[in-house]
Amino acid sequence: MLTVLGGQPRGGRMCDGMARRQFMRIGSLAGLGGVAGLSMPELLRAEAASGSRQKSVIMIFLPGGPPHQDMVDLKPDAPSEVRGEFRPIPTNVPGIEVCELMPQLAKITDKLAIVRSMVGSTGAHYSFQCMTGRSDQRQPSGGWPEFGSVVAKLQGAASPAAPPYVGLSPRMQHTPYNSGYPGFLGPAYAPFQPNGDGKGDLVLNGLTLERLADRGHLHQALDTFNRRVDTTGLMEGMDAFQQQAFGVLTSSTLADALDVSQEPQAVRDRYGYGTEKHQGDGAPRLMQQFLAARRLVEAGVRCVTISYSFWDYHGNNFSNCRANIPELDQGLSALIEDLHDRGLSDDVTVIAWGEFGRTPQINKDAGRDHWPNVSCALLAGGGLKTGQVIGATDRKAGEVIERPVRFEEIHATLYNRLGIDHLQTVRDLTGRPQYLTDHFEPVAELV
C-alpha cells in the first residue's frame, strides 16, 4: 500500500501539511528490495548483468466458479440435462474444441494450454485458493500470502518506478472474492491497488486516478511534490530501499502504465470495453483491465491480478454465459495476441481460472450449482508448452478421469516461469520456514 495523503495523522506533520507517518508509509516498500542480503541497487544490477529479461505473471480470477462444461470441456454426447445449449467448435489445433462463444480463443488455441482437470477445490466462494494456491484451513499465524506478495518478497521491484505487485481488482460486494492480502509476509508486500477503495493508493499531492488523463497536471504535481520533499532534506536520509519505493510515487511511469488512453484507438477497440457495472456480487466486465495489465508488465510490474465479472449462475446459466463468455473471449484473446505481437509471450505468463466448476446436472432454474470436484484453467505465454489440453473428465464433465492437476501445481508452475525455486521457503511470523508450494512440482506437461 502506497498512500501519501489521506487518513488522520498521528504525530508531526511535514511541509505542505503532510503527515509524517503517512509519508513514511512510502518506505513500507523498502523490504521489497532485499533478497539474500542484496540491497535494491545491487539486486537490479545483478538482474541486468545476468542478461535475463524480466518475467511477469498476469492472473485473471473469475469470481463465482465459471462453468467448465460450457466453456472448454463441452460434452455434446451427454444427456440433454447435462450437455446444455452450446455446441463445440474446432480450434486451430486439430482435435481440440471449445465453446461456440469463444471463437477468438479458438483461433489462437495454439497459444493456449487448457487444463480440464483442476482438482482440490475447497468449494468455498473466495479468491484465496487461486491467489495463494492453498486451502484456508490450518493456516500459519498471519495467514498464507498471495502469489504476488511472495514474488514481491523474493524478487523485489524490477524497476524503481514500478511496484512488483499490482492488484487491479475492484472491491467486490462478496468480500471473500477480494484479494490483496500479503498474509504473514506483512503489509510491505501487499499489492499496489489503484482501483475501487484502493484509489487512495494513487493520491499524490491532490492527484487522483480520475485525473490521470490530464498529463500536464500529472507532471506538474509530480514535479512540485519532488521539489517540496527535496527542500526538507529527507531524500538524503532515505536508504536505497526507501528511495526506490519513493520513486514509485514520484515517477509518472506507473501512472502512464495505468492510462490506457495512450494506446491507439484500434488497440483499445481490439480489447473491447465491457461495462463498469458490477455483475452480481462480483466484478465488472472490464476488458480494458487486460490492456492495463499488459502495460503494467511492460512498465516493470512482476505480478498483476485482475478479477473479471461474475460466474455464479445458479439460474439462467446459458443466458448469463451468452452475456459474459464472448467478452471474456475478446479481452483474453486480445491480451494473448498482444503479448505475442510485442515479443512478450515468453516473458509473461497468463492464467485465467476460478475457485471451482459447476454441476453436470442443470437445475430446475436452468442453472448449474457449485461443483468443487473439477474445474478448468487457461494458461498462455511464459514459454509454456501450449497448443494442448491437459487432463480429461468423464462423459458428464463431473469427475476427473485423466491427469488431475492441483492448485499447488499451477502455483509451482508460475514460480518456475519467474525463475523462482518453488521448493524454497519463506519464514512466517513465528520464524518457521514455510515452503512455497508444500513440495508440489510444476506441471510437467507445461514446462
Query: Residue ranges of the domains in the chain?
Result: 27-435
As its CATH architecture, domain 27-435 has 3-Layer(aba) Sandwich (3.40)
**For residues 153 and 326, what is the distance between their CA atoms, to the nearest angstrom?**
37
Amino acid identity of residue 309, one-letter, is S
**Dihedral (C-alpha) 333, 338, 344, 348: value to the nearest 10 degrees?**
-40
Whole-number pLDDT of residue 391: 98
Whole-number pLDDT of residue 243: 52
The secondary element (H helix, E strand) that includes residue 237 is helix 234-237
Mean pLDDT split into 10-residue runs, the chain, 447 residues: 34 37 34 39 50 88 98 97 97 98 98 98 98 95 97 91 92 96 93 65 44 49 54 48 56 85 96 96 96 96 98 98 98 98 97 98 98 98 98 98 98 98 95 94 98
Whole-number pLDDT of residue 352: 98
* Residue owning grid cell 475478446: 330
Whole-number pLDDT of residue 252: 77
pLDDT digits (tens, 9 = 90+) for 279-299: 999 999 999 999 999 999 999
pLDDT digits (tens, 9 = 90+) for 303-322: 999 999 999 999 999 999 99
CA 333 to chain centroid: 16
Q: Which of 357, 284, 360 is nearest to 324 (CA)?
A: 284
Adjacent-strand bridge partners of 357:
371
